[in-house]
């Protein structure tokens, strides 16, 4: 449907929609940068299980090496393992590297692990944030310079196309949100494997 609006009304709605887009862009940029800062901090965990250290490390190593599609540990390669330590690296969607060390006696093992994460999701999120700034600013400029002043009421009504900026405003939330979720999933999977080691 063609919208026919006077100049003042068109200018008002263009500014309102652009302001909303700017606020949404700022929120997305903050969310992405917050996620990037969080991802730079290694995840730490520890547990005590009724299992000797060597057996625990062996079972954790096997779970990492045998991780199937769908597992947060899929695409992981064990880089080194000994009686009380295993190191691995993943090249999947959520790239990560981890180290787990176990100490204890024949009945009880105390294990501590550290996981460092990264990956293309956050890079993609940052690129979309930059793109979003250009799209919001550029679209507002084009509409205010070439559409808003137009004497044709039908063309002037196209200022509502400013809402199209939404297409570059929601992906940062999706990509950074997925990065946060996958990061938690990796840590939760390591904890699950460790806790289940005595029963494997």
Q: What is the pLDDT of residues 108-128, one digit of tens each?
A: 999 999 999 887 899 999 999
Rounded to 10 deg, the angle between the 7-39 and 171-196 helix axes is 20
| Lookup result for tokens 């039908």 | 154
Torsion from C-alpha of 63, 65, 69, 75, nearest 10 degrees: 130
Residue 72 CB contacts under 8 Å (≥ 6 apart), including other chains? 94, 182, 185, 186, 188, 189
Tokens coding 126? 């940052």
Q: Where are the domains of the chain?
A: 7-36+121-179, 42-117+185-199
Residue 1 CB contacts under 8 Å (≥ 6 apart), including other chains? none
Strands, DSSP E only, in 7-135?
Answer: 43-49, 76-81, 85-90, 96-104, 109-117
| Lookup result for tokens 């090249």 | 91
pLDDT (tens digit, 9 = 90+) per residue, 16-58?
999 999 999 999 999 999 999 999 999 999 999 999 999 999 9
Statement: residue 91 has pLDDT above 70: yes
pLDDT (tens digit, 9 = 90+) per residue, 2-18?
456 788 888 999 999 99
Phi, psi of 81 (to 5 degrees): -150, 140
Q: CB neighbours (10 Å) of residue 120?
A: 14
- The CATH architecture one would assign to domain 42-117+185-199 is 2-Layer Sandwich (3.30)
pTM of the model: 0.86
């Amino acid at each position: 449907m063609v919208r026919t609006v006077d100049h003042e009304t068109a200018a008002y709605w263009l500014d309102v929609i652009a302001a909303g887009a700017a606020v949404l862009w700022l929120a997305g940029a903050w969310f992405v940068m917050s996620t990037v800062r969080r991802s730079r901090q290694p995840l730490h965990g520890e547990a005590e299980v009724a299992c000797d250290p060597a057996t625990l490390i062996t079972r954790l190593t096997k779970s990492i090496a045998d991780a199937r599609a769908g597992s947060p540990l899929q695409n992981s390669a064990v880089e080194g393992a000994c009686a009380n330590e295993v190191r691995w690296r993943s090249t999947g969607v959520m790239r990560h590297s981890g180290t787990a060390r176990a100490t204890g006696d024949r009945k009880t093992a105390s294990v501590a692990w550290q996981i460092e994460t990264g990956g293309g999701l956050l890079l993609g999120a940052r690129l979309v944030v930059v793109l979003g700034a250009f799209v919001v600013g550029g679209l507002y400029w084009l509409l205010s310079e070439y559409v808003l002043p137009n004497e044709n009421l039908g063309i002037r009504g196209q200022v509502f196309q400013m809402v199209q900026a939404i297409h570059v405003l929601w992906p940062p939330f999706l990509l950074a949100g997925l990065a946060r979720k996958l990061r938690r999933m990796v840590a939760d999977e390591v904890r699950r494997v460790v806790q289940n080691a005595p029963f494997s």
